[in-house]
Structure 1
Amino acid sequence: MLAPVNDVTVWAESLDQLLECKTGQLVFENFLRTEYSEENLLFWRACERYKKMTSEAETTEAAKRIYTEFVQVDALRQINIDCATREEISENLSLPGPACFDRAQRLIYRLMENDCYPRFLKSEIYQALLEQQ
């Protein structure tokens, strides 16, 4: 998977720059998969899609799906969030608003930014792309 050279170097500026690029997200996801932590990015993406939904039926269904896949204890792709945040989401599920997952999404973003992202920049995956310039 070859990315345009300027994109690859821009990814090192910030996690935001990386996530704004579709190719960057895919490369980051591949890296996270090697660390068994791709659920963080998948959850972040699901939240981004969720915030853009307009139909109440659609948001209710999506909120339940996100909760089941990422938030509930023993979820298939359980994210690492505190009990209070998990409980808050659980309580909001009956009437999920656009900000239902905001707190959890911020926590996961910070986790990726402070933990996964720095390791990604040092990874063989990223370094190999840089060398292809």
Structure 2
Amino acid sequence: MAPVDDVLAWGVSLDHLLECKTGQLVFEDFLKTEYSEENLLFWLACENYKKKTSDTEMMVAAKRIFVEFVQVDAPRQINIDCVTREEISENISQPGPNCFNRAQRLIYGLMENDCYPRFLKSEIYQALLEQAERR
């Protein structure tokens, strides 16, 4: 059960929601109902990627993100423009720390303007809000 403050904070901004582990899980459950959880999973993978320090770790993580989310026909292909996709394809052999920044910003914008407002109106969130307010 999520603390009242957390549940209320999730309604303030997408950032508040994503900063909270429970919030991420609840948001992912919601996105699964819309078949768009790849957006969140990609965003989280990018956040994790930015924490990599060794070149080898970065290389392995970048390839995994590319194969899972970015390449055409990826199992969880994200919805990004072909210029961004092409840019990542060109840089994937030498991925830098900012390799996915542009794509991550696009996906964040998509979640913020599209999925997040629907999440706030969803039964999942409304039920949690109701429970939180009753306590």
| Corresponding residue SS for 1:98 | coil
After superposition, the CA RMSD in angstroms is 0.4
Report runs of 4+ in structure 1 exceeding 4 Å deviation. Answer: none
| Corresponding residue SS for 1:132 | helix
Deviation of 1:94 (Å): 1.1
Identify the residue that residue 4 of structure 1 maps to in structure 2: 3
Deviation of 1:86 (Å): 0.1
Distance 1:65 1:7 in 2: 32
TM, length-normalised to structure 1: 0.98
Matched, 1:124 2:130: no
Q: Aligned letter for 1:26? A: L
Which stretches in structure 2 are left out of the alignment for 5+ residues? none
| Corresponding residue SS for 2:53 | coil
Identify the residue that residue 82 of structure 1 maps to in structure 2: 81
Q: Count how many residue pairs are aligned between Structure 1 and Structure 2.
A: 132
Deviation of 1:46 (Å): 0.2
TM, length-normalised to structure 2: 0.97
| Corresponding residue SS for 2:66 | helix
Identity, in percent, stands at: 80
Identify the residue that residue 16 of structure 1 maps to in structure 2: 15
Identify the residue that residue 24 of structure 2 maps to in structure 1: 25
Deviation of 1:117 (Å): 0.1
Identify the residue that residue 60 of structure 1 maps to in structure 2: 59
Q: Aligned letter for 2:73? A: D
Identify the residue that residue 105 of structure 2 maps to in structure 1: 106
Deviation of 1:90 (Å): 0.3
Deviation of 1:80 (Å): 0.1
